[in-house]
Structure 1
Amino acid sequence: MKILWKGLGTILMMVGITVGQSIWGGGWTVYPAAAAQPMQTMTDFAAHPARESILLGLQKGFIWKYPDGRFYPDKQIVQSQFVASLVAIRGIKETAPVPELPAGHWAKGTYERAKKAGILTDIKIDPNKLLTKEEAAQLVFNAWKPYRGVKMNGYTNTGALITWGWMDPAPAGQPKFREDLPVTRGDAAKMLAYLWKDKGQLELGAKWAEEFERSLIIKNGVLKGKVPTGSNDFAIMASVIPINNGMRGFLNGELINVKISEYKPFIVFSIRSKSDSSNVGLYQYSIPSLDKENRTIQFSSAKLGGNNE
């Protein structure tokens, strides 16, 4: 029996994902998806711990209900559902061959897009496979490598994702990093919500970094520029370090005007979310060349804590 999310069909609009056969009646069904979906009655997830994440995913179009209008948050998620959501969040359109699936297979289009983006690296393709934490975490790290790099050394995929904060630990009384536990659709919605938010914030950070870079000039030994005004949801700061130590910071919308001879030869530009203090952009510019180095926090640079006991 194939378990599919509502919105998965032979065509997934906007990103062109090909997925799924309906489990009701066994026939082919085409659903609109990858776009905001009409908000329906919350039916079976109104009181669920993942309620807000499920609502976000339905609104943004990266998760789907079943054809009967229910979400089934406590069902174990299958590989094709999770892969389709990752493809939708990444907005992948290009494809690469997936010979493991025959021509005409209901999931082939989805998997071809996932293959192109590296999401299927070291993954055994099985669209109907019920996912464990370790399997879901590996897919997350594969999908997010372009944004946050590789996972932390010395940890399983599960342990690394729990440490990063995007996967819940095992229930109390069990080993914190149990890799074999099932991943429910509610669990998946929570992880996917983190990815959606992180991608959007990183894109904003990169946009503001480009705006900041365009403003920088050095003339007659003076560095001038402007910190982007940005948004009230983010703290944006450019920092210079005086030769005699200390720090001087310029915040959202402020103008920069400093003698470069009085400061160390670099300026740091950072963007931080005010809601959770997450780093959504960190760049360093050399003075006087103004060459840029991207130092946005990577998975591998996270401060690790806890143990797998």
Structure 2
Amino acid sequence: MKILWKGLGTSLMMVGITIGQTLWGGTWGVYPAAAAQPLQTMSDFAAHPAKESILLGLQKGYIWKYPDGRFYPDKQIVQSQFVASLVAIRGVKETAPVPELPVGHWAKGTYERAQKAGILADVKIDPNKLLTKEEAAQLVFNAWKPYRGVKMKGYTHTGALITWGWMDPAPAGQPKFREDLPVSRGDAAKILQFLYDDKLQIELGEKLWREFHDSLNVKNGILSGKIPSADKNYYINVQFFMKNNQIVGFENGQNFTVNLSNIKTAGFIVMDRGDSTKSISYSYPNLPNLNWEKTTQKFS
């Protein structure tokens, strides 16, 4: 677990040095992340509600301070800053043309990566644009389409992201899904933490599922395998749905042997014990055939 966090954080930090510092920090010269982001300096966000999200983002290298060492959490975020963070979290390296920005433009490299990743779909490119909740939410759904699909039907981007739990609703007394409110840098840090955590969870879950799947063996009508082990923060479970409508389950670290003549289907899940929405799941609908279907929860 620690290795996964370290690897992802290091990757993001390296991406941050090349694409993010200049956009979040208010200057267009590239400078080393470690020197520019002293985590012990919290002069302007030590008491801010987004403090923990800001600290995580700075540590993992997907958000950045200004050159004066301050974060300015209540300052409205601009499009290029938010796009840079999404590119960093996604770890995008490949590029696609962005003709709207001229050669030599300070944001062109970041936007070309974002274009390749689909982050800019149906978005008007304007690096200095101050983002509203609807504009930020649209970028989030674009960035997360490979992981969670498209937004819930019948909702605006704002309404869908608030319903999913990754964006705060409007203040009391206002329409809950108000779209035109500004997104501060502190607000953005909170949203980005959800994305970072979700990606980490998905990547861990995929690794554990692959370990489980590779352990499966069918011989003489008997299926055997092993549930991977994980730390106490994660619940790993496989359930076999029997022809008599009973369910037989196995959990973290257990070996199992089952008679396939009694089984209809099976399902595998990895769940964060602290947040059940952070999970991945697979089904085996055609046993004894071990073909699988990915059933991880989608936005829609």
Query: Does TM-score exceed 0.5, indicating one fold?
Result: yes
Post-superposition offset of 1:28 = 4.4
Q: Which residue of 1 aligns with 2:87?
A: 87
Q: Is the 8 A contact 2:92 2:114 kept in 1?
A: yes
Q: 1:243 to 1:115 in 2, by over 3 A?
A: same
Q: 1:245 to 1:192 in 2, by over 3 A?
A: same
Q: Which residue of 1 aligns with 2:5?
A: none
Q: Which residue of 2 aligns with 1:278?
A: 277
Distance of 2:116 and 2:35 partners within structure 1: 22
- Match of 1:290, SS? coil
Q: Which residue of 2 aligns with 1:263?
A: 263
Q: Which residue of 2 aligns with 1:32?
A: 32
Kindly report which structure 2 residues correspond to 1:97-116, keeping only aligned pairs within 5 A, or say none.
Answer: 97-116=97-116
Q: Is the 8 A contact 1:19 1:108 kept in 2?
A: no
Specify which structure has the higher proportion of helix. 2
Distance of 1:120 and 1:35 partners within structure 2: 31
Q: Which residue of 2 aligns with 1:240?
A: 240
Q: Is the 8 A contact 1:39 1:59 kept in 2?
A: yes
Task: Between 119-128 and 30-39, report the one with greater CA deviation.
Answer: 30-39
Structure 1 ranges of 4+ moved more than 6 A: 21-24
Q: Is the 8 A contact 2:222 2:260 kept in 1?
A: yes
Q: 1:80 to 1:49 in 2, by over 3 A?
A: same
- The amino acid across from 1:91 in the alignment is G
Distance of 2:244 and 2:119 partners within structure 1: 48
Q: Which residue of 2 aligns with 1:304?
A: none
Give the number of aligned pairs.
286
1:152-194 CA distances to partner (integer Å, 9 max, x unpaired)? 0000000000000000000000000000000000000000000
Q: Is the 8 A contact 2:23 2:84 kept in 1?
A: no
Corresponding residue to 2:19 among 13, 17, 20? 17
| Cα RMSD (Å) | 2.0
Post-superposition offset of 1:279 = 3.8
1:46-72 CA distances to partner (integer Å, 9 max, x unpaired)? 111101100000000000011111100
Kindly report which structure 2 residues correspond to 1:189-208, keeping only aligned pairs within 5 A, or say none.
Answer: 189-208=189-208
Distance of 1:112 and 1:260 partners within structure 2: 50
Q: Is the 8 A contact 2:21 2:33 kept in 1?
A: no
Distance of 2:176 and 2:51 partners within structure 1: 24
Q: Please, which runs of 5 or more residues in structure 1 have no aligned partner?
A: 1-11, 301-309
Q: Which residue of 2 aligns with 1:294?
A: 294
Q: Which residue of 1 aligns with 2:151?
A: 151
Q: Is the 8 A contact 2:38 2:69 kept in 1?
A: no
Distance of 1:275 and 1:78 partners within structure 2: 32
Distance of 2:85 and 2:35 partners within structure 1: 12
Identity over the aligned pairs, expressed in percent? 67
Q: Is the 8 A contact 1:227 1:236 kept in 2?
A: yes
Distance of 1:224 and 1:34 partners within structure 2: 49
TM-score relative to the length of structure 2: 0.91
TM-score relative to the length of structure 1: 0.88
- The amino acid across from 2:208 in the alignment is W
Post-superposition offset of 1:31 = 2.1
